Amino acid sequence: WVTKFLYSEDYDMIEFGLFIMKRFLYFIANAESLGIQIPQREQLQNKGIQAKLLEIFHTDKYKNSRKQLYSASIIGLIYKALQINSEFGKEIIDFLKETIHIQDQYDASVQLQSLQFLAESQQNHELILSGGFLNELNNFLKDDKKVFTYIGVVTLFVKLFKFGTPETKEQIWKTISRDRVKILADYGNDDDTQKSKSRLIKKNHYENVIVIAGELYRLLIEYQNKEQQGPGMNQQEGDKQIQTENKQKYQQKEEEIKEELNVKQMEKEQQQGDEQKEQQQLKQGNEQKYITQVYQILEQDGK
């Protein structure tokens, strides 16, 4: 029923419909596991709703309005964990990246949410990372006036890192301010600066940013430790893996030999059993033959 608002001729009704649809799809997308597409995707694409959203996005009188913002955001949500359509993908992603700089931090956070879900597909990373976008995200983390966007920025960093290529991880590692992430994650000493930042986050109802920043900081530390181990450690891990595989092969071969021996033993026992049975039958036959002969002799003597 919400989609009916998109076809209204009333300016405010269209914006209301877009707002409701955006919130609805966000909750659905957020409820899905990482890397899983939203179940309504095909329905939204096949029933012309996506085409209507693109029409609204491209309408001149809606430019620089929330209608354009929300329509782009909804298209981003539709392509959660999926490569965005190449016909309009670059245009939508570039628009989302540009509009995170708008003054209204709520609207900026809406655009960041869509970028987060698009980042769950590695195939969208090239478009997202183009134009030095990681530097822009890092600047957001260091801007004390953009607290409401912290949650979106750290979540986007986490997803780019989790779904990214080794090159993307390295790029994030070189770009991001790890000290700033550490402060947001509430790690280290509780000095006055850190307490101030933590209070600022909580004051603005963004306690979750501490948790997600903590996850991001953990990913960065794990990456650092892995890089410090170097190729020598990787070689050791490779040798260890080979040893493990060889051990598994040996154990498997040993089990096969045991199984083969068990089969042969069973066959031997079966053969011995058959021979014993045959000998017993032969013995019983001989005894019966002997008894018969004795009876015959006795009968002759009786006569």
CATH number of the domain where residue 140 is located:
1.25.10
**Average pLDDT score over the chain:** 82
265 pLDDT higher than 60: yes
Of 280, 261, 35, 43, nearest in space to 21 by CA: 43
Residue 94 lies in a domain: yes
Q: DSSP label at 219?
A: H
* Structural domain harbouring 43: 2-148
One-letter amino acid at 85 equals: N
Do 53 and 74 meet the contact criterion of CB atoms below 8 Å apart?
yes
Q: pLDDT band for position 188 (50/70/90)?
A: very low
Residue 116 lies in a domain: yes
Residue 178 lies in a domain: no
196 pLDDT higher than 60: no
Residue 288 lies in a domain: no
- In angstroms, the CA 152 to CA 156 distance is 6
Q: pLDDT band for position 189 (50/70/90)?
A: very low
Q: What is the mean pLDDT of residues 63-89?
A: 94
Strand ranges for the chain from DSSP E: none
Residue 297 lies in a domain: no
- In angstroms, the CA 119 to CA 168 distance is 12
Please count the other Cβ atoms lying within 10 Å of the Cβ belonging to residue 260: 10
Residue 95 lies in a domain: yes
Of 55, 25, 56, nearest in space to 41 by CA: 25
Q: pLDDT band for position 149 (50/70/90)?
A: confident
- In angstroms, the CA 60 to CA 64 distance is 9
Q: What is the mean pLDDT of residues 238-263?
A: 68
Residue 234 lies in a domain: no
pTM score of the predicted model: 0.71
155 pLDDT higher than 70: yes
Number of domains in the chain: 1
89 pLDDT higher than 50: yes
Residue 115 lies in a domain: yes
